[in-house]
Chains A and B, each alone.
Chain A
Amino acid sequence: MASLKEEVEEKKKLIATLRNKPWRMKRRLKLLKECQAFVEEFEGALGKGKGRKLYAYKVMMAKKMIKFNRDFDNFKTACIPWERKIKEVESHFGSSVASYFIFLRWMYGLNLVLFAFMFGLVVLPEVMMGLPYGSIPRKTVPRAEQDRAMDISVLLDFGGYCKYSILFYGFYNDERTIGVLQFRLPLSYLLVGVGIFGYSLMVVIRTMARNSDEGGDGGDDGQFTFAFKMFTSWDYLIGNPETADNKYASITTSFKESIVDEQENQKDENIHLRRFLRVLANFLILCSLGGSGFLIYFVVKRSQEFANLDQDDLSWFEKNEVEFVMSLLGLVCPPLFETIAELEEYHPRIALKWQLGRIFALFLGNLYTFLFALFDEVNAKLEKEKSIRNATIWGLNEYYSNYSSYHNTTDIPPPDIHPADVIRGPCWETAVGIEFVKLTVSDIQVTYMTILIGDFLRAMIVRFLNYCWCWDLEAGFPSYGEFDISGNVLGLIFNQGMIWMGAFYAPGLVGLNVLRLLTSMYYQCWAVMSCNVPHERVFKASKSNNFYMGLLLLVLFLSLLPVVYTIMTLPPSFDCGPFSGREQMYNVVMETIENDLPAFIGNIFTYATNPGLILPAVLLMVLAIYYLNATSKNYQNANLELKKKMQMARDEEKNRRNNKENTNQVMQDLEDLLPNRSLLPPAAAEEKPPPVREKGSKSPKVAKRPGAAANGKGINIQKDVSLAAPNPKAAVTHPPGPRGPSGNARGPPPGPARGRGRGTPPSRR
């Protein structure tokens, strides 16, 4: 009974792994039908006796589950958008350009989920269950700004009606619960803000883990250069003859280069000059990085001064100076770095890594300088707020005391001022949100304009002016552009970093980004297909997938820091946003725990936040990391050992086969001198022996040592040794006189000794 069950399980396992077998479809189909018939027949039989109904039910549910899983997988695959588009790009440009679009699609998915969170849990409740526009001061445009609130220029600057809408932090009300459902908006706002980071972190790490699994170790660099070039350099997705020709050319070039490289040893011509040039290049680049950081700081400070002036006096340029300068720097510096890097003369792959690192440093420096400058602004606003708040409180007290003294009641209605006329504090969170949104918008504009001018216009000029130009524009100077994969990917990563930072202060930013990614996909696919040519020199920065994911992770952490800092330290504005009136933003969570949850949960939290508990937990985690690290190193070492063993075993084989003659010769000579034949190594050729040795009853004894053929006298028989069958002649011509008994005695022992070799002749026994 149990064995039957086992067999059924086995057959089921076989069915599941059938697609992994490299057999012909016919054979697999046959096997599948057999296994299925077997399983069906006996599955019924197993269900006899007790628990039959339960067993049958379980089996049916399992089958339905499998079918459901398969249908669900099919459905998921059908839902993935833009497959055709990406496939077209892949067939023309190869898989490395297509990897950018796959990354873009992945980002789109991530942003869609973030948008769903933000929209469903924060924006929608406020819109549906919260107070409408115009009912309370924070939701109304102040009287002073009202006549200009609908102007296009003001709206484009995200002032006016835009500022007092759901797009920004300031609109949200701070009532603990709203609407019929008692929805706790402030709590939800905080949790969503933090949850966005948590979810992104989870997704990025999961993708990284999946990528690192497929990638393997990448080989120890240079161990398999030629083999990889041979076996893995062709991209089977290429479907376009032009691209294929390009690929042929690049493969040929890379072969020729590697052959030459391998032949020449590294002639380090002038190592001192090269070192000096490299130091010089790094110094220049550091200077430019510092320069750009300073420029941004200066510009942000200036914009604060501008903000104090009357808005009408400023030109468009002065109003948007910050964003303009940042985008300009992002455009100009990378080519500058590339030109400086030509001083360094690195191998292209290493040069690419340096270039990416520098661009990353540039963007990071710019972003953080921007943040610091913004932070100064925030502090200034907080100062101003203090005075306004004091003024408001004083005004309110005055009103109450006047009213009570005038009307002689203690039941005082709230002051009857129109919301638009109330004195407002400078809502710093909204200001920060506006800055981020403006930055994102200008980034979008700059990217699209660059593609239009840099790629499309260039392609038009090259194509049409070529007819009347002196030199060949297509082959010579401008020619068509190539798709800059790394620049685009980095741009995408940093855009996402800005979104993460700004999402807490401007809930509408995530929606904006979703729209941007959607249009980007179509726009860039069109641009690449119509204006770009495939890369001339195609080399894959192989582990680049995980490299970009690693960058994304880093950016995620870096954008987490400012948000968490503000949540924990900065006091929220007193009259706008969902946390107004509280000391710190996270007090919302404390309040919820105290008021809404049962008492013991509050106790649990108090215990959990006790440093006495947290410190040991942190210590434990550090130890766990150390332990896992040590284990993984051990596995790597074990791997290396096994590899070495494999090599050694093969080497041994080879040596045995090749050197048997020699060793046996030596041993043969010794053999003559010694009475006891046991010196002769029982080792023998493992390959051919078994069938051959069975010939004749006497020959087995001799056959053991094909090299050692008969007895010591058979020295000259050594020649047809190694894999060859034992020389039958020798067996016959030399009646094994003295050898007989020793020969017999040696019957069993060689058996296990020969087990060392590959083919243990089983028939020896």
Chain B
Amino acid sequence: MGTTASQLRKDLLSEYQELTFLTKQEIILAHKRFSELLSKEDRNIPTPRVPMEKVLSLPELKSNPFRKRICHVFSTSDMKDGSLTFEDFLDLLSAFSDSATLEIKSHYAFRIFDFDDDGTLDGGDLEKLVNCLTGETDDTRLTTEEMRQLISNILEESDIDKDGTVNLSEFQHVISRSPDFVSSFKIVL
């Protein structure tokens, strides 16, 4: 259970309920799981941070090919090391929750896919994306020729202003037409 310091304050709980798409039980469960990830000394600091390796050990994230990107996107650490505070963790769960809107999900999906964090999805980002999706081993990767073909097909479909990159509004336009996106972009503790 932990000491009283690791309990969530009631007023904070109601504020989090107001600000996220999570229900009260989900927030409490998130707090419990988050506290389990903290080491003993960290428990008593006011706003503890969990290092990225610990976050990646969560079963929900362990098998996800985008786990590192997810940590980086939701992390507010100044050292850009992907560590998460409890509020970052709540942000993560809220964006991936069942009741989150399409806009929020597509916004965060865009940021996750933007590997170089430059605000657009260019060829390099797309290539890294495909490599993530096809697994780590060599025999499942695509050949260079196939990759080139794939990326040009994608840009042809989604790049409306033909500038060679997919920006946020183009991405959101594509995603809004997809019927599966909202139901598959979910993580539940």
Contact call A255/B142, Cβ cutoff below 8 A: yes
Q: How far is the CB of A241 from chain B (nearest CB, A)?
A: 5
Q: How far is the CB of A481 from chain B (nearest CB, A)?
A: 23
Query: What residue in chain A is nearest B24 (Cβ atoms)?
Result: A74
A25 in contact (CB, < 8 A):
yes
**Known contacts A87-B188, A231-B175, A231-B181: does B157 contact A224 (CB below 8 Å)?**
yes
Contact call A25/B91, Cβ cutoff below 8 A: yes
Which residues of chain A come closer than 8 Å to B23, judged between CB atoms? 73-74, 77
Contact call A217/B177, Cβ cutoff below 8 A: yes
Contact call A26/B76, Cβ cutoff below 8 A: yes
- Which residues, 40 to 58 on A, are CB-close (under 8 Å) to B? none
**Known contacts A20-B101, A251-B134: does B183 contact A216 (CB below 8 Å)?**
no
* A350 to B137 CA separation, bound complex (whole angstroms): 32
Q: How far is the CB of B91 from chain A (nearest CB, A)?
A: 5
Choice from A95, A215, A227, A654 contacting B184 with Cβ under 8 Å:
A95
Which residues of chain B come closer than 8 Å to A243, judged between CB atoms? 63
Interface size class of A (residues with CB under 8 A): 35 or more
Contact call A236/B185, Cβ cutoff below 8 A: yes
Choice from A22, A239, A650 contacting B104 with Cβ under 8 Å:
A22
Binding-face segment, A112-120, A165-173, A256-264, A660-668? A256-264
A225 in contact (CB, < 8 A):
yes
**Known contacts A25-B88, A223-B177, A248-B140: does B20 contact A19 (CB below 8 Å)?**
yes
A692 in contact (CB, < 8 A):
no
Which residues of chain B come closer than 8 Å to A646, judged between CB atoms? 160
Contact call B146/A256, Cβ cutoff below 8 A: yes
- Which residues, 223 to 248 on A, are CB-close (under 8 Å) to B? 223-228, 230-241, 243-245, 248
Which residues of chain B come closer than 8 Å to A249, judged between CB atoms? 135, 140
Which residues of chain B come closer than 8 Å to A95, judged between CB atoms? 183-184, 186
* A73 to B24 CA separation, bound complex (whole angstroms): 10
Binding-face segment, B1-9, B11-19, B32-40, B48-56? B11-19
Q: Which one of A15, A223, A232 has the highest number of Cβ atoms from chain B below 10 Å of its Cβ?
A: A232
Return the CB mask of B128-140 against A: 1 if under 8 Å, else 0. 0110011100001
Q: Which one of A19, A20, A244, A263 has the highest number of Cβ atoms from chain B below 10 Å of its Cβ?
A: A19
Contact call B103/A650, Cβ cutoff below 8 A: no
Contact call A20/B104, Cβ cutoff below 8 A: yes
- Which residues, 160 to 189 on B, are CB-close (under 8 Å) to A? 160-163, 171, 174-188
Contact call B94/A248, Cβ cutoff below 8 A: no
Q: How far is the CB of B84 from chain A (nearest CB, A)?
A: 11
Contact call B107/A22, Cβ cutoff below 8 A: yes
Q: How far is the CB of A4 from chain B (nearest CB, A)?
A: 23
Contact call B183/A227, Cβ cutoff below 8 A: no
* A241 to B67 CA separation, bound complex (whole angstroms): 13
B71 in contact (CB, < 8 A):
no
Contact call A218/B87, Cβ cutoff below 8 A: no
Return the CB mask of A16-30 against B: 1 if under 8 Å, else 0. 001110101110110
Which residues of chain A come closer than 8 Å to B18, judged between CB atoms? 15, 18-19, 32
- Which residues, 68 to 124 on B, are CB-close (under 8 Å) to A? 76, 87-88, 90-91, 94-96, 101, 103-104, 107-109, 113
Q: How far is the CB of A96 from chain B (nearest CB, A)?
A: 10
Query: What residue in chain B is nearest A244 (Cβ atoms)?
Result: B63
Q: How far is the CB of B152 from chain A (nearest CB, A)?
A: 9
A543 in contact (CB, < 8 A):
yes
Query: What residue in chain B is nearest A220 (Cβ atoms)?
Result: B177
Return the CB mask of A108-146 against B: 1 if under 8 Å, else 0. 000000000000000000000000000000000000000
**Known contacts A232-B184, A236-B187, A248-B135: does B20 contact A219 (CB below 8 Å)?**
no
Return the CB mask of A61-76 against B: 1 if under 8 Å, else 0. 0000000001001100
* A215 to B182 CA separation, bound complex (whole angstroms): 9
B57 in contact (CB, < 8 A):
no
Which residues of chain A come closer than 8 Å to B20, judged between CB atoms? 19
Choice from A24, A25, A540 contacting B180 with Cβ under 8 Å:
A540
Contact call A252/B140, Cβ cutoff below 8 A: yes
Which residues of chain A come closer than 8 Å to B182, judged between CB atoms? 214
Contact call B21/A19, Cβ cutoff below 8 A: yes
Q: How far is the CB of B153 from chain A (nearest CB, A)?
A: 5
Contact call A231/B109, Cβ cutoff below 8 A: yes
Contact call A248/B133, Cβ cutoff below 8 A: yes
Contact call A230/B180, Cβ cutoff below 8 A: no
Contact call B15/A236, Cβ cutoff below 8 A: no
Number of interface residues of B (CB under 8 A): 67
Choice from B60, B150, B176, B183 contacting A255 with Cβ under 8 Å:
B150
* A91 to B15 CA separation, bound complex (whole angstroms): 30
A-B contact count (CB 8 A): 173
Query: What residue in chain B is nearest A94 (Cβ atoms)?
Result: B184
Contact call A234/B66, Cβ cutoff below 8 A: yes
Choice from A232, A256, A653 contacting B178 with Cβ under 8 Å:
A232
Contact call B149/A263, Cβ cutoff below 8 A: yes
Contact call B135/A252, Cβ cutoff below 8 A: yes
Q: How far is the CB of A352 from chain B (nearest CB, A)?
A: 16
Choice from B62, B94, B107, B177 contacting A218 with Cβ under 8 Å:
B177
Q: How far is the CB of B10 from chain A (nearest CB, A)?
A: 13
**Known contacts A227-B174, A244-B63, A248-B140: does B133 contact A233 (CB below 8 Å)?**
yes
Query: What residue in chain A is nearest B161 (Cβ atoms)?
Result: A650
Contact call B25/A78, Cβ cutoff below 8 A: yes
Query: What residue in chain B is nearest A241 (Cβ atoms)?
Result: B63
Which residues of chain A come closer than 8 Å to B184, judged between CB atoms? 95, 232-237
Q: How far is the CB of A629 from chain B (nearest CB, A)?
A: 23
Which residues of chain B come closer than 8 Å to A540, judged between CB atoms? 180
A542 in contact (CB, < 8 A):
yes
A659 in contact (CB, < 8 A):
no
B59 in contact (CB, < 8 A):
yes
* A650 to B94 CA separation, bound complex (whole angstroms): 35
Choice from B107, B178, B188 contacting A231 with Cβ under 8 Å:
B178
A647 in contact (CB, < 8 A):
yes
Q: How far is the CB of B88 from chain A (nearest CB, A)?
A: 7
Choice from B17, B90, B157, B188 contacting A25 with Cβ under 8 Å:
B90
* A240 to B61 CA separation, bound complex (whole angstroms): 10
Contact call B140/A223, Cβ cutoff below 8 A: no
Q: Which one of B101, B142, B150 has the highest number of Cβ atoms from chain A below 10 Å of its Cβ?
A: B150
Which residues of chain A come closer than 8 Å to B95, judged between CB atoms? 22
Contact call B135/A245, Cβ cutoff below 8 A: yes
Q: How far is the CB of B34 from chain A (nearest CB, A)?
A: 13
Which residues of chain A come closer than 8 Å to B64, judged between CB atoms? 234, 236, 238, 244
Which residues of chain B come closer than 8 Å to A77, judged between CB atoms? 23, 25
- Which residues, 255 to 276 on A, are CB-close (under 8 Å) to B? 255-256, 259, 262-263
Which residues of chain B come closer than 8 Å to A18, judged between CB atoms? 18-19
Which residues of chain A come closer than 8 Å to B188, judged between CB atoms? 87, 237
* A87 to B62 CA separation, bound complex (whole angstroms): 16
Of the A-B pairs whose beta carbons lie under 8 Å apart in the complex, a sample of 9, sorted by A's number, is A32-B19, A224-B178, A226-B157, A233-B184, A236-B96, A241-B62, A255-B146, A542-B179, A654-B161
Taking Cβ atoms with an 8 Å cutoff, the residues of B that contact A are: 15, 17-21, 23-25, 59-60, 62-66, 76, 87-88, 90-91, 94-96, 101, 103-104, 107-109, 113, 126, 129-130, 133-135, 140-142, 146, 149-150, 153-154, 157-158, 160-163, 171, 174-188
Contacts A77-B25, A249-B140 aside, 6 further interface pairs with beta carbons under 8 A come to A22-B104, A29-B15, A230-B129, A236-B64, A252-B140, A540-B180
Which 3 A-B pairs give the minimum distances between C-beta atoms? A248-B135, A25-B87, A244-B63
